């Protein structure tokens, strides 16, 4: 997948799974999670994406499956652009 780190950070900021951007956080608030997701092999599975957020925020439901699905779809869409 040919996404840059900046692309991934933008996708996560748009998805804002934990509400950090909405609460006034900087656009790169999810940089650590972007790095973790980009380190996964191939197209990440929904459980891998939700797992990254569960570990980062010590909360199993930090990223919903619906949000993870949108993130995965955006990754594929933007990588193909």
Average pLDDT over residues 2-14: 95
Helix (H) or strand (E) holding 28: none
Domain map of the chain by residue range?
5-79
Give residue-wise pLDDT tens across range 30-52: 999 999 999 998 778 999 999 99
Instruction: Give Cβ neighbours of residue 68 (< 8 Å, ≥ 6 apart).
Output: 17, 46, 49, 50
Instruction: Say what the pLDDT of residue 28 is.
Output: 97
């Amino acid at each position: 997948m040919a996404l840059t780190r900046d692309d991934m950070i933008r996708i996560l900021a748009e998805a804002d799974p934990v509400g950090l951007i909405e609460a006034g956080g900087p656009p790169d608030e999810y940089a650590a999670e972007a790095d973790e997701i980009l380190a996964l092999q191939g197209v990440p599975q929904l459980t891998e994406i939700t797992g990254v957020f569960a570990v980062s925020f010590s909360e199993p439901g930090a990223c919903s499956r619906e949000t993870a699905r949108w993130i995965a779809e955006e990754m594929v869409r933007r990588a193909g652009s």
